[in-house]
Structure 1
């Protein structure tokens, strides 16, 4: 979740309080029932929710919440449910409902890209590593300690690069890209609006757009992640094995940890690759790619 700061401050100042957000389709969420800004009850996800005030999942309580948790019985799942404790506590004391002005649900891999777009726009660039002569940095670019941007690299901020990274030479990094620690971006690589996790290597002649790359991945030379359909429609992807509409016109690959692609691999828009997959040269990857699935040429 990604709430706005003023609402968080309001939550912290209200004493016992829960956070909420008005939603168009409350069937996807547990919801609050309130009275004059005070919590009356919490209702779990249902087809006929009594309000559109979704539980945003941020709380401010004292020790009484632990007394409530100790007082409730185990649920059918064999767990102590926070919602049961909230309902019990709401009958004992006054709990404020604080409505958030902004809330982003980060429950799907591509939500990371939307979060990047929001957080990086407020970034103020800071260079703690080394930038060689001949490299071009435009806008707000942050570079961590021990990292180097080599000659010929062209970077358009906002871009965040972590520690001990090796960037370039002659690469192009475009806005709202977040690169973690110990990442290698090599010659003739273009990265756009993506999140790349620790220890991944995109060595040369590759394109990564609107993608999330896990930890410890290695791109064979010439790996290209397509991020746009020819018809311009929103791109389908996968969540827990189910094909869903991402709602995004541009979406590349959602790549798990420790994936290795062969040289000249082509990856379709919206592809999900499970952790540990090792591909063949000239493979074409699309849809949901499992570790046991043979790569196709």
Structure 2
């Protein structure tokens, strides 16, 4: 329930071939920067403008003047990067996305139609097709003890060997306002997270995560 195949329809991202190399989504995090630079060099210059070194913006995208685009990054067609958004770099943002006011992105892949619209932090994460984070929802990507991150799925524990992993959101995931997704959180497709939740571990697809930690299947 937590492989790339389980979580994502790869037809909705320019990272399709890149992600297809891996079994688990967090395995792709280390190479996002180099992948974006290589991909950017192949983009159609009639469609994308390299506005600064290794920063490519589709000509149909809207980027507000107060937004910061750090290299490398790619902003896809019809995407909006709104006021005071802070893209630190290593960000592939797909088509028809929203990167909202005061939202920060770092080392991420956002599939098409992803919305991070209000005061979000998304770091070392992959957000699937049509996933959405409510206002103030954040991905926590480093443990407080700075130890390597382990993916917890009930009694199963998967050693990642990585110090930084945010959240892996499957397609059509909805995260409620002011929720915290702890390091190594994996949320299956079509699942919902209640507002103000503190989420950790693997949440099965088509589930509802309540803010007391209870998980129920959708009817």
* Coarse TM-score class (shorter-chain normalised): 0.7 to 0.9
Paired residues for 1:1-297 under 5 Å? 105-122=21-38, 123-124=40-41, 128=47, 139-237=53-151, 242-290=156-204, 291-297=206-212
Distance 2:137 2:182 in 1: 11
**2:11 corresponding residue in structure 1:** none
Tell me how far 1:296 sits from its aligned partner. 2.1
Unaligned runs of 5+ residues in structure 2 are: 1-19, 213-219
Instruction: Report Cα offsets for 1:136-195 as digits up to 9, x if no partner.
Output: x65311112311111210111110111111111110001211111111101010000000
Instruction: Report Cα offsets for 1:275-296 as digits up to 9, x if no partner.
Output: 1111211111111112335322
Question: Does the CA contact (< 8 Å) of 2:193 and 2:208 recur in 1?
Answer: no
**1:3 corresponding residue in structure 2:** none
**Could you say if the C-alpha distance between residues 111 and 150 of structure 1 is closer, same or farther in structure 2, counting changes exceeding 3 Å?**
same
Distance 1:231 1:219 in 2: 26
> Is the partner of 1:199 in helix, strand or coil?
coil
Question: Does the CA contact (< 8 Å) of 2:103 and 2:119 recur in 1?
Answer: yes
**Could you say if the C-alpha distance between residues 248 and 175 of structure 1 is closer, same or farther in structure 2, counting changes exceeding 3 Å?**
same
> Is the partner of 1:208 in helix, strand or coil?
strand
Tell me how far 1:230 sits from its aligned partner. 1.3
**Could you say if the C-alpha distance between residues 147 and 129 of structure 1 is closer, same or farther in structure 2, counting changes exceeding 3 Å?**
farther
Instruction: Report Cα offsets for 1:8-28 as digits up to 9, x if no partner.
Output: xxxxxxxxxxxxxxxxxxxxx
Tell me how far 1:105 sits from its aligned partner. 4.9
> Is the partner of 2:77 in helix, strand or coil?
coil
More strand by share: 2
**1:94 corresponding residue in structure 2:** none
Unaligned runs of 5+ residues in structure 1 are: 1-103, 132-136
Question: Does the CA contact (< 8 Å) of 1:213 and 1:257 recur in 2?
Answer: yes
> Is the partner of 2:158 in helix, strand or coil?
strand
Alpha-carbon RMSD across the aligned residues, in angstroms, is 2.6
Identify the structure with bigger relative contact order (alpha carbons < 8 Å, sequence gap 6+): 2
